Amino acid sequence: MKYTVEMSDKLNELLERTYDAEKGFKQAAEKVDNKTIKDFFLNSAKQRYNFGQELKAEIMSFGQAPNEGGSAKGTLHRSWIDFKSLFTSNNEEAMLEEVHRGEKEAIATYNDILHDKDFVLPPSTESLLMKHRNAIRETLETANIFETAVS
């Protein structure tokens, strides 16, 4: 039982980050005028919504309850917390820089779980997390391209 509780705790942490990222991408999409960047943010939000659904299913497969909201811990290093201060400036480059920072943190979180030596991930969980992490890497690369274009 300890294994599933630990695993669901780690997956719930990812789920919270996923909720935060989805909200951040939606908020960013509302604040940009560039249609291409707006579509990128909206597509990224949809991707994170889908990640959330997949993580919820994985957590439930361990017999645990998934978290239903965004980050409740109030930690200082949430990936999307700085977006609020960026919205007043309507600065696409600054928003893309924040995406860059948030996506790097998300990749690091996925890697921490994937490389945790304290327990072995079930193949379905490992495959899911690797798929998400690789998609986040692609989002990061796309954000970097847009950031270069608008700077």
DSSP state letters, 85-150: HHHTTT-HHHHHHHHHHHHHHHHHHHHHHHT-TTSPPPHHHHHHHHHHHHHHHHHHHHHHHHHHHH
pLDDT over 50 (residue 74): no
Q: Write down the pLDDT at residue 71.
A: 53
- Examine the pLDDT at 9 and tell me if it is beyond 50: yes
Q: Which residue has the higher pLDDT, 95 or 88?
A: 95
User: CA 61 from chain center: how many Å?
Assistant: 21
Domains of the chain: 2-63+87-150 (1.20.1260.10)
Judge whether 25 and 44 are in contact, CB under 8 Å. Answer: yes
* Mean pLDDT for the chain overall: 83
Q: DSSP class of residue 6? A: H
Is residue 2 scored above 70 in pLDDT? Answer: no
> String of b and e for 94-106 (b: at least 16 CB within 10 Å)?
bbbbbbbbbbebb
Enter the DSSP assignment of 23: H
Question: Quick one: tokens of 108?
Answer: 């690091």
Whole-number pLDDT of residue 89 = 57
* pLDDT one-digit tens code per residue, 108-141: 999 999 998 877 788 999 999 999 999 999 999 9
pLDDT tens digits, one per residue of 29-57: 888 888 999 999 999 999 999 999 999 99
97/87 Cα distance (integer angstroms): 13
Q: Residues 51, 132: contact at Cβ < 8 Å?
A: yes
